[in-house]
Amino acid sequence: CKPLIMNNSLELPISKETRKFLESKHLLFINGEWRESSSGEIIPVIDPATEEKIAEVQSGTKEDVDHAVKSARDALTGEWSKIPSHDRAQILHRLSDEIEANFSTLSEIEVLDNGMPMQLAQYSIASHGVTLLRYYASWAPKIHGKTIPVSPGGAMNGESLTYTKREPIGVVGAIIPWNSPLIFAILKLAPALAAGCTLVLKPAELTPLTALYFGHLIEKSGIPKGVVNIVTGLGETAGDALAKHKDVDKITFTGSTEVGKKIVSSSVGNLKKVTLELGGKSPVVIFKDADLEKTVPGVARACFFLQGQNCMAGTRVFVHEDIHDELVQGVKEMAESFQIGHGLIESNDFGPLISENQRNRVLKYIKQGMAEGANLVYGGKKINEKGFFIQPTIFTEVTGEMKIAKEEIFGPVLSIEKFGNESLEEIAKRANSTTYGLSGSVWTNDISIGHRMAALIDSGQVSINCHAAVDSAIPFGGNKQSGWGREFGEEGLDSYLKTKATTIMY
């Protein structure tokens, strides 16, 4: 695997450590050992910015998933269960130290695997990865139950004491997408381990590399064997086997709404608990008093961040007609200013889409938008000979019935609609007219309008004068078909715990 040269013959700045990792044999991590898949089959890993193969990983099977689940089950009641919660916290802090020590290698691998710009890889690993692990590490010793006063009567007729304990939910299966691979691995692992659970992680087949590198850091951090298992593989084989497994207590899934529905069906066999973080089509509502100096870059980032391959992306703008033209012009200038290219070149801030399939899907939506009468203001075309690049794309004169306004495109396509003197309720009705409800934002200098509009948007998360305010401590998740449950914050931890009530009669 030495073809890491861009089509313009510019050699990429890749460190020795990253090269060594890419050239090594990538195996499954089960019960603290690295082993081949029972199928003997492999999956090629492609750098989406060059279309070159950069590595090969194992294609895990049902049998491999069975091994991984068994090792997680054994670990659940083994040494791990006896480690005091303060020490569990220390172990998670040690894992964070390992990430910090290997920060530049992890960032390079994330860029090569996913295509994201280096600045974004570095920002997300530092601000979300490490912070999330440390945040949940500090929760571990704070997990406790309650004593509950009960009214006398029936079986409770006498002096008694009732208390609850919070116990780990058990063996967790985590299935994650390709758009922010390392962060999703950490977002699942951190609260699960803080709660005392054990885990089988199934990374996306398109982006398995940082999870595997992370596996080596997990080994170094002193987490007992079997507590974390990593099975790379296809969704319909390894993912399906994990979701259907009768000895898995909970599935935490991030991905498309379509696959989320399959996960729900698969979980029925043993009625395992399910958390789903799914797709989105988030509205951005801009009132005429908004500060355009902040709103224009905010809107451009909300949609084009990660080339629009972002579940929270603010892809549907509703803007007051008085400032429509100025806003469109500003966002167009921002789109024109993006430096498009390989993420390892640090000045680039806009990378490729993840795959040829994804690019074709996005181009199809763009064609549909034009056919349905939307006005293409900017972009819409493939760029570069090599790599799955596409221009940031802006449509105006969009209406709520158009496909580009209703369906999740998962690419850099912004739809802009106008409003005039409608009431807040009427604007909200338009903003809420999709099957999704993940994120959203309101831009105004009127504090009262900001809060009233935020209350009317039917999403799990709404920001005022910013978009997608994500933080370890802020609960995040979807309404409607954007998901079940919440991640991040205390609620995120809660979903890895179960409550046991115990009563003693004196």
| Torsion-angle region of 55 (φ positive above 0: left; ψ -120 to 50: alpha; else: beta) | beta
Among the listed residues 470, 443, 169, the one whose alpha carbon sits nearest the alpha carbon of residue 293: 443
SS3 40: coil
Q: Of 70, 94, 216, 262, which lies in the binding site for ligand NAD, with binding defined by CB under 6 A?
A: 262
The CA distance from 207 to 15, in Å, is: 19
The CA distance from 193 to 80, in Å, is: 10
Query: Catalytic annotation on 293?
Result: no
Instruction: Give how many residues touch ligand NAD by CB under 6 A.
Output: 29
Nearer to ligand NAD, 95 or 274 (CB): 274
The CA distance from 415 to 394, in Å, is: 6
Question: How near is the Cβ of 354 to ligand NAD at its closest, in Å?
Answer: 8
SS3 175: strand
The CA distance from 413 to 426, in Å, is: 24
**Binding span for ligand NAD by CB under 6 A among 1-9, 25-33, 250-258, 449-457:** 250-258
Nearer to ligand NAD, 168 or 279 (CB): 279
Q: Of 52, 64, 108, 240, which lies in the binding site for ligand NAD, with binding defined by CB under 6 A?
A: 240
SS3 442: strand
Q: Of 236, 321, 326, 490, which lies in the binding site for ligand NAD, with binding defined by CB under 6 A?
A: 236
Show the beta-strand stretches assigned E in 373-434.
Answer: 375-378, 382-383, 389-390, 393-396, 413-419
Nearer to ligand NAD, 175 or 218 (CB): 175
- Tokens for 282? 């988030």
What φ, ψ does residue 282 adopt, rounded to 5°? -80, 135
410 is a site residue for ligand NAD (CB under 6 A): yes
The CA distance from 451 to 464, in Å, is: 8
The CA distance from 173 to 155, in Å, is: 39
Q: Of 45, 72, 212, 311, which lies in the binding site for ligand NAD, with binding defined by CB under 6 A?
A: 311
Q: Tell me which of 303, 311, 408, 417 is the catalytic residue.
A: 311
Nearer to ligand NAD, 280 or 380 (CB): 280
Residues numbered 272 to 301 that lie near ligand NAD (CB under 6 A) are 277-280
Nearer to ligand NAD, 450 or 489 (CB): 489
Nearer to ligand NAD, 408 or 494 (CB): 408
Question: How near is the Cβ of 230 to ligand NAD at its closest, in Å?
Answer: 12
Strands 413-419 and 314-320: parallel
Look up tokens 């990538």; give the residue: 26
> Is the distance from CB of 182 to CB of 164 less than 8 angstroms?
no
Residues numbered 415 to 474 that lie near ligand NAD (CB under 6 A) are 438
Site string for ligand NAD, 1-40 (x = CB under 6 A): ----------------------------------------
Query: Catalytic annotation on 466?
Result: no
Which residue ranges make up the site for ligand NAD (CB under 6 A)? Answer: 175-179, 202, 204-205, 235-236, 239-240, 243, 254-256, 259, 262-263, 277-280, 311, 408, 410, 438, 478, 483
Q: Which residues are catalytic?
A: 277, 311
